[in-house]
């Protein structure tokens, strides 16, 4: 379930939503990191910035999910999505996966909006990634025919490592990580009402 053996062509065909999000990560990173007037405008316009959101720039609740601080940040989130996204896209379906991913990330950013200072700015897909782990946690408890003991141990190990890194790393949006996970768990019954076994 969490081991990827597909080549790039097969991966794109089997997991179109995950693939599209990863491609968006790369494109936005290149557009925002190469020093041009466009890169400055992208970050200035799309980064999560609480004060601007309070003034009506609500797209900033969504766009930070596709932006990253540096190459390592983008790679870690994209690899995490590659590991945990494909199985969930198959289990709950493409449209529900997109709702779950974006919904978890937006809920994490809404929590950041109200719990962080007005001048706080943020970017990254981590809230949405933790949202996927929140949905997996729901499946562990309510769909054990999908998440057996082995897979359950992997999810809980990923959560422990993720939350330890959240609490110990510098410049981490702790609010986004915790509320992304909580948002995924809240959304889970609504996006996972029609599940199917992975690989069928």
Quick one: residue 143, left, alpha or beta (phi over 0 = left, psi -120 to 50 = alpha)? beta
Backbone angles phi, psi at 48, to 5 degrees: -70, 120
* pLDDT over 80 at 197, yes or no: no
- pLDDT for res 148: 85
CB contact burial 138-169 (16+ within 10 A = b; e otherwise): bbbeeeeebbeeebbebbeebbeebbeebeee
Percent of the chain with pLDDT over 70: 98
Structural domain contains residue 118: yes
| Residue 198 binned pLDDT confidence (cut-offs 50, 70, 90) | low
What is the average pLDDT score of the chain?
93
Q: Identify whether 95 is a catalytic site residue.
A: no
- pLDDT for res 184: 97
**Considering the entire predicted model, what is its pTM?**
0.93
Structural domain contains residue 127: yes
- pLDDT for res 2: 87
How many structural domains does the chain have?
Answer: 1
Rounded CA-CA distance 171/17 in Å is 29
CATH number for 181: 1.20.1540.10
Q: Identify whether 177 is a catalytic site residue.
A: yes
pLDDT tens digits, residue range 114-125? 999 999 999 999
Structural domain contains residue 160: yes
| Residue 144 binned pLDDT confidence (cut-offs 50, 70, 90) | confident
- Work out the average pLDDT over 84-109: 96
| Residue 35 binned pLDDT confidence (cut-offs 50, 70, 90) | confident
Structural domain contains residue 3: no
Considering 80, 104, 126, 137, which one is annotated as catalytic? 126
Backbone angles phi, psi at 49, to 5 degrees: -140, 110
Structural domain contains residue 196: no
Structural domain contains residue 15: yes
More reliable by pLDDT, 65 or 42: 65
- Work out the average pLDDT over 7-27: 96
Structural domain contains residue 71: yes
Structural domain contains residue 1: no
- pLDDT for res 34: 82
Q: Which residue segment(s) compose the domain that 111 sits in?
A: 8-191
Run of H or E including 49 = strand 48-49
């Amino acid at each position: 379930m969490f081991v990827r053996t597909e080549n790039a062509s097969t991966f794109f065909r089997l997991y179109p939503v995950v693939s599209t999000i990863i491609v968006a990560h790369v494109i936005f990173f290149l557009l925002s990191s190469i020093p041009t007037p466009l890169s400055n405008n992208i970050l200035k316009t799309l980064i999560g910035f609480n004060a601007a959101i309070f003034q009506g720039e609500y797209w900033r609740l969504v766009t930070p999910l596709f932006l990253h601080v540096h190459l390592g940040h983008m790679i870690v989130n994209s690899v995490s999505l590659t590991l945990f996204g494909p199985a969930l896209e198959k289990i709950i379906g493409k449209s529900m996966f997109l709702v779950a991913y974006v919904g978890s990330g937006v809920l994490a950013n809404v929590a950041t909006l109200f719990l962080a200072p007005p001048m706080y700015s943020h970017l990254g897909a981590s809230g949405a990634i933790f949202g996927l782990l929140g949905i997996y946690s729901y499946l562990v408890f309510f769909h054990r025919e999908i998440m057996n003991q082995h897979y359950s141990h992997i999810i809980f190990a990923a959560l422990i490592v993720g939350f330890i890194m959240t609490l110990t790393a510098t410049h981490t949006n702790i609010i986004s990580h915790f509320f992304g996970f909580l948002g995924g768990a809240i959304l889970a019954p609504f996006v996972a009402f029609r599940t199917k076994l992975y690989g069928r």
